[in-house]
Structure 1
């Protein structure tokens, strides 16, 4: 239960990362303004009581700024370092998978038009996005490739001042990415890890490489589309 709760927390922090930074950043701006106002009041106060009130306001504002700073730092650490280090979890809950397995077992044998791997691949239009050959690209699987079971992932991550990279997957058309793993070593057409697709529902998926330099400036994400089929 604890692992599942942590996974749900990390998923929430990743999904709403932009909104969290926006809200906390707005709070930071508000309390910076209040701190400056309290500082001016404290500097211009003529009486001891006025100075005490201004000092209390200043202390409260600085405390809130520190708290908001810790929130921003915590969000950054959880999304950039903790989430990539968590082992891959199944994309769907077990009951859903059991239901699909049962439905497959009871299908009548009349279905004779099940597409072959070659016909499936022919209908999947190869797609890539944001990839730069020799710099940031997927070498395996290739765009439009059909995969099953556990496959080796090969990629090129050859950027100046590399900070770290992570690789993720999501169903086609979804923004809910699941991190597979992460690293901080350059790669040139080399294996970066493995992807176990056995627990996934067959269909179209996206693989994404997210790369950042040592100043945490992101490069364009490299995305390829593949199709997962039953082993």
Structure 2
């Protein structure tokens, strides 16, 4: 099912163009059959024209049904299917395990430590459980700069999938960074070779990171949230 959805989404416009061309060809054949049906004078001639028109009408109805199905699959089913969601981090693939060479990041922090430690009050339910659901990097109060590798632990019974998100304090809108579906223990979020987060794309300031875990029955565990601060590179 996942592969079918990905195919329909990837070639969405090609499919629509193909359907449009076939529809035009079908309508053309139907128009010819209709003209022959109206001008026919003999029973056999009329019967043949009627059969061609009915065949064209059936094909047209099938194309309409296929178009509606394609629209529903890519516009409604695809966004809600967990493993096919298009995530903001385009370089992350849940199932891929690329070898990534990390370039060292030179960090020059001139403000004092007191200026850098976020003082954000987290009012959401804290579901961080050591050894089961937790962030190992960053930890609460961590200062982030440039591209970082998010690490954590997701080891719960009957794991379905998990996703990690960010927002700014005071906002109720969480943006998904990426997701994973296999257990990890102090590993990059999403598995080895994943978990990259480019903070240079965000405005420096205080942020919250949230780890949301679901089991294979789609039950949600309490979210694990840590507060961080992003500074300019």
Give the TM interval when normalised to the shorter protein: 0.5 to 0.7
Partners of 2:121 and 2:186 in 1: CA distance: 19
Q: What does residue 79 of structure 2 align with?
A: 78
Deviation at 1:157, TM superposition (A): 0.2
Instruction: Indicate if the aligned counterparts of 1:164 and 1:184 stay in contact, CA closer than 8 A.
Output: yes
Q: Give the whole-Å Cα distance in 2 for the aligned partners of 1:185 and 1:117.
A: 40
| 1:199/1:131 CA distance change after superposition, 3 Å | same
CA displacement, residues 22-75 of structure 1 (integer Å, 9 cap, x when unaligned): xxxxxxxxxxxxxxxxxxxxxxxxxxxxxxxxxxxxxxxxxxxxxxxxx8xx76
Aligned-partner Cα distance in 1 for 2:77–2:130: 29
Structure showing the higher helix proportion among its residues: 1
- Aligned 1:129-208 pairs, distance under 5 A: 129-192=126-189, 193-208=195-210
Equivalent of residue 124 in structure 1, options 81, 100, 119: 119
Conserved in 2, the CA contact under 8 Å of 1:126 and 1:143?
no
Of structures 1 and 2, the larger Rg is shown by 2
- Structure 2: runs of 5+ lacking an equivalent: 1-8, 10-71, 91-108, 190-194
SS of residue matched to 1:198? helix
Q: Is the 8 A contact 1:88 1:178 kept in 2?
A: no
Aligned to 1:108: none
C-alpha RMSD over aligned residues? 3.1
The normalised TM-score by structure 1 is 0.52
Identify the residue that residue 230 of structure 1 maps to in structure 2.
Answer: 232
Structure 1: segments with no counterpart, 5+ residues: 1-5, 7-70, 90-113
TM value normalised by structure 2 = 0.52
1:180 to partner: Cα distance: 1.0
Q: CA deviation at 1:81?
A: 3.6
